[in-house]
Amino acid sequence: MKNKFVKLLVRTLLLFIAVSLICIALVVQPVFTNKDPKNPVAQPEQLKTYVYWLSDTLPNNVARANILDEKADYLYSQSQNFNTEVSYQPYDVMGVEYNNVVVKFKGKNNCGTYVIGAHFDTYNELPGADDNSSGTAGLLELVRLFSNNPPKCDLELVFYNLEEPPYFRSEHMGSYIHAKRLKDSKVDVKMMLSLETIGYFSDKEGSQDYPINGMQSLYSTKGDFISIVGNFSQIGITRELKKTMRSVTDLPVYSINAPSFIVGIDFSDHLNYWAFDYPAVMVTDSAFNRNKNYHTEYDTAEKLDYKRMAKVIDGVYYAINGSMDEETN
């Protein structure tokens, strides 16, 4: 009787360990990558110029539509320097017109549509250098890169309005408008990437926090990495992006696939693509889990790391091209 109990206990323990390892693998998505360094293509100084303009030149107030219009005009004119197919995507919120800015590239092949987006509004009257002038600047740099090397599949680079409260999680978000119009037009979206706070890094021990105690043992205690974030439906594209991004630069890349009740998993524009059953993930430095200047007056341009931010954009650029290569092979 005692031997049976011991065997049962051992089997239960082994089963628990196996299930735990599977759960950890599903969340963390470990990948084994052969290094394939690519030439750096994103320009740190250009990213810095964009962030300073977006966060320092104009006062940032989500309630002032004229300021957001001026930002949209800036993004439009900068994008038009590289690509002629740039358009405003207007929509109405309680009698006031707001605009997304959409840059389209026609692919060389009929292989679906990719979307990369970033919101350009900031919280309250704050500078918002990391949140989210960093993502917006990165997207502008991607406009330049894809203009120099047209993609194989259709690509839309979208600057979103009204991501921040009081519009967050509402149908007034610019990303909701864009995702819905894609769905209404029956566009085949292969992948959407949201660039959300991508410029703050730290090499100090203890500089990285997590929404759940114990996650430090799975990732890092230093805020020296970029993250790819999705739910369990995005496991495949998370692995694909992570593998390529890790291979082409020396920037550490981690990922998490988890349900939305884990704080931060759906805290950006990708959530609106999930609402329309499009595959979407967030690329992020983890925002308030690392950058304690988040949503404060201290989120300013001089605190960002533009060299590592450029590596993030390099990784995204090569990863999207790699995904398109897979679609056309």
Q: Helices 135-148 and 65-80 sit at what angle, rounded to 10 degrees?
A: 20
User: Once rounded to an integer, what is the mean pLDDT over residues 228-232?
Assistant: 95
% residues pLDDT > 90 (the chain): 79
Q: Confidence class of residue 123 from pLDDT cuts 50, 70 and 90?
A: very high
**33 versus 16: which is more confidently predicted?**
33
Question: Burial code of 133-154, b = ≥16 C-beta within 10 A, e = fewer?
Answer: bbbbbbbbbbbbbbeeeebbbb
Residue 255's identity, in one-letter code, is: S
Kindly report the average pLDDT of the chain as a whole number: 90
Q: Confidence class of residue 20 from pLDDT cuts 50, 70 and 90?
A: very low
Q: Confidence class of residue 65 from pLDDT cuts 50, 70 and 90?
A: confident
Phi, psi (degrees; rounded to nearest 5) at 265: -60, -35
User: What class is the 33-328 domain?
Assistant: alpha beta
Q: Which candidate, 128, 126, 100, places its Cα nearest to that of 197?
A: 128
Q: In what order do the strands lie in the sheet with 226-230?
A: 86-93, 96-105, 154-160, 113-119, 189-196, 280-284, 226-230, 253-257
pLDDT tens per residue across span 83-121: 779 999 999 999 999 999 999 999 989 999 999 999 999
Q: For residue 62, is pLDDT > 90? A: no
User: Once rounded to an integer, what is the mean pLDDT over residues 139-146?
Assistant: 98
Q: Confidence class of residue 314 from pLDDT cuts 50, 70 and 90?
A: very high
The alpha helices in 121-254, defined as continuous H runs, are 135-148, 174-184, 235-248
CA distance 79 to 156: 12
User: Once rounded to an integer, what is the mean pLDDT over residues 264-273?
Assistant: 96
CA angle 65, 289, 263 (to 5 degrees): 80
Q: Confidence class of residue 56 from pLDDT cuts 50, 70 and 90?
A: confident
Q: Which of 19-28, 59-68, 169-178, 251-260 has the lowest average pLDDT?
A: 19-28
Q: Confidence class of residue 328 from pLDDT cuts 50, 70 and 90?
A: confident
Q: For residue 61, is pLDDT > 70? A: no
Q: Confidence class of residue 196 from pLDDT cuts 50, 70 and 90?
A: very high
Q: For residue 24, is pLDDT > 70? A: no
pLDDT for residue 167: 96
In DSSP terms, which residues pair with 99 in a beta bridge?
Answer: 90
In the chain, domain spans:
1-30, 33-328
Q: Which candidate, 123, 142, 25, places its Cα nearest to that of 82?
A: 142
**54 versus 6: which is more confidently predicted?**
54
Full-prediction pTM beyond 0.95? no
**214 versus 323: which is more confidently predicted?**
323
Q: How many CA atoms lie within 13 A of 140 on its CB side?
A: 29
Q: For residue 159, is pLDDT > 70? A: yes
* SS3 of the chain: helix, strand, coil, percent, to 5: 45, 15, 40
pLDDT for residue 214: 86
